[in-house]
């Protein structure tokens, strides 16, 4: 067989990593596959939903696959499929299979509200998905319904069980704590973690809700959550790892554990390795970025990989030092969490 020509080798080989102006390497890509959702979490979007993107504006599976192939060559090592609610995108297992083919050694996970996992967990696992994180903000039926505006707690529990059976493990749980709503449940979540073995990560409420109802008074500092749990179930910190979550195990050796994502009170921007691709193909270097770069237009008008690479590198190079939530000059991004891809 002929040796590959230099041009061909360049097309298929790995490229220099994506490094920003502060020396941080972007190797984690969050891909939003839809802006739509079948829940209406009060901290995320209004009861009537949002003006969804027309289908023609979403990146197609082929476009997503082409971009992911390039991102992997640029050093992306983990892919998180998100949304909106990713499971409402038709034929999601087909997409996962396509991504798995172009990213064979990459960790591919998904963040979901879990309500459709009872029927999708198995086909997603078969298609090559590694893990899921399920959002669960209350263990109480009435509060779950109040926070998500859907009476679906039992279906989410069924989805978590289906994910475990399908081997999408370890199933992690994301829980957004909103002061005055579910903050009284943190110790109950820790108890549930000990009983089920699921690690629960508490996320601070961020100013990314579409209806702009966020107030600082509703942010429950992660340090307070850790202290409340530690008083009942003593905790031991785990070694800090690549994740932004600070993780703890139970000192008595019980299964499960907790994590906190203190985006507001203790930002972790210094070590942020994330990059985001919105459902319509905008690349963003930060959740709170005020600028984004369109990849869909160039993709659809025939841009080469080298041209797309230059656009991505430029976006990463201009990534700012950190978000400015705690500064008087903070400006909310126009997009809300579900339209960015959390």
Residues that bind ligand SF4 (CB under 6 A): 37, 39-41, 44-45, 83-85, 113, 135, 338
Number of residues that bind ligand SAM (CB under 6 A): 20
Nearest to 322 by CA among 260, 244, 255, 213: 244
Rg (CA), the chain: 20
Under rule CB under 6 A, residue 144 binds ligand SAM: no
Q: Which is nearer to ligand SAM, 171 or 337 (CB)?
A: 337
Beta bridge partners of 173: 134, 200
Mark residues 104-123: x for contact with ligand SAM by CB under 6 A, - for none. -------xxx----------
Q: Which is nearer to ligand SAM, 118 or 309 (CB)?
A: 118
Q: Which does 20 bind (CB under 5 to 8 A by kind): ligand SF4, ligand SAM, none?
A: none
Q: If DSSP codes are grouped into helix, strand and coil, which group holds residue 11?
A: helix
CA–CA dist 143, 227 (Å, integer): 23
Pick the stretch among 14-22, 55-63, 206-214, 266-274 that binds ligand SAM (CB under 6 A): 206-214
Q: Which is nearer to ligand SF4, 7 or 51 (CB)?
A: 51
Among 147, 171, 203, 325, the residue binding ligand SAM under the rule CB under 6 A is 203
CA distances from 242 to 29, 168, 297, 325 (A): 14, 20, 33, 23
Q: If DSSP codes are grouped into helix, strand and coil, which group holds residue 258?
A: strand
CB of 20 to ligand SAM, least distance (A): 23
CB of 136 to ligand SF4, least distance (A): 10
Query: Which DSSP category does 318 fall into?
Result: T
CB of 339 to ligand SAM, least distance (A): 9
Q: How close are the terminal C-alpha atoms of the chain, in Å?
A: 46
Burial-class residue 143 by CB neighbours within 10 Å (0-12, 13-18, 19+).
middle
Q: Which does 209 bind (CB under 5 to 8 A by kind): ligand SAM, ligand SF4, none?
A: ligand SAM
CB of 43 to ligand SAM, least distance (A): 4
Biggest alpha carbon–alpha carbon distance for the chain? 68
Torsion 297-300-301-305 (CA) sign = positive
Q: Which is nearer to ligand SAM, 149 or 313 (CB)?
A: 149
Q: Where are the beta strands (DSSP E) in 23-157?
A: 25-26, 28-32, 78-82, 107-112, 131-135
CA–CA dist 169, 87 (Å, integer): 17
Mark residues 242-281: x for contact with ligand SAM by CB under 6 A, - for none. ----------------------------------------
List of residues contacting ligand SAM (CB under 6 A) = 37, 43-44, 82-83, 85, 111-113, 135, 174, 176, 203, 205-206, 208-209, 337-338, 342
């Amino acid at each position: 067989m002929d040796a590959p020509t230099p041009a061909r080798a360049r097309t298929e080989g790995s490229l220099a990593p994506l490094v920003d102006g502060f020396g941080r390497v972007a190797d984690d890509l969050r891909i939003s596959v839809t802006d739509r959702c079948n829940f209406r979490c009060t901290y995320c979007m209004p009861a009537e939903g949002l003006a969804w993107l027309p289908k023609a504006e979403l990146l197609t599976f082929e476009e997503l696959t082409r971009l992911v192939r390039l991102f992997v060559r640029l050093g992306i090592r983990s892919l998180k499929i998100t949304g909106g609610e990713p499971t409402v995108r038709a034929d999601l297992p087909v997409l996962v299979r396509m991504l798995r083919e172009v990213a064979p050694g990459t960790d591919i996970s998904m963040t979901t509200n879990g309500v459709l996992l009872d029927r999708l967990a198995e086909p997603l696992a078969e298609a090559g998905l590694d893990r899921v994180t399920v959002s669960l903000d209350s263990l109480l039926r009435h509060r779950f319904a109040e926070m998500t505006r859907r009476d679906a707690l039992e279906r989410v529990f069924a989805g978590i069980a289906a994910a475990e059976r399908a081997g999408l493990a370890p199933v992690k749980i994301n829980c957004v704590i909103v002061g005055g709503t579910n903050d009284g449940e943190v110790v109950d979540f820790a108890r549930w973690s000990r009983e089920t073995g699921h690690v629960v990560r508490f996320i601070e409420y961020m100013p990314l809700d579409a209806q702009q109802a966020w107030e600082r008074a509703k942010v429950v500092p992660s340090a307070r959550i850790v202290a409340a749990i530690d008083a009942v179930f003593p905790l031991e910190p785990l070694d800090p790892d690549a994740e932004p979550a600070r993780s703890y195990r139970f000192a008595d050796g019980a299964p499960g554990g907790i994590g906190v994502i203190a985006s507001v009170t203790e930002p972790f921007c210094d070590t942020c390795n994330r990059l985001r691709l919105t459902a319509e193909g905008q690349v963003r270097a930060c959740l709170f970025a005020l600028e984004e770069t369109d990849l869909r237009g160039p993709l659809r008008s025939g841009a080469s990989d080298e041209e797309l690479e230059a656009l991505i590198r430029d976006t990463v190079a201009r990534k700012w030092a950190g978000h400015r939530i705690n500064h008087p000059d903070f400006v909310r991004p126009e997009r809300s969490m579900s339209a960015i891809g959390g």
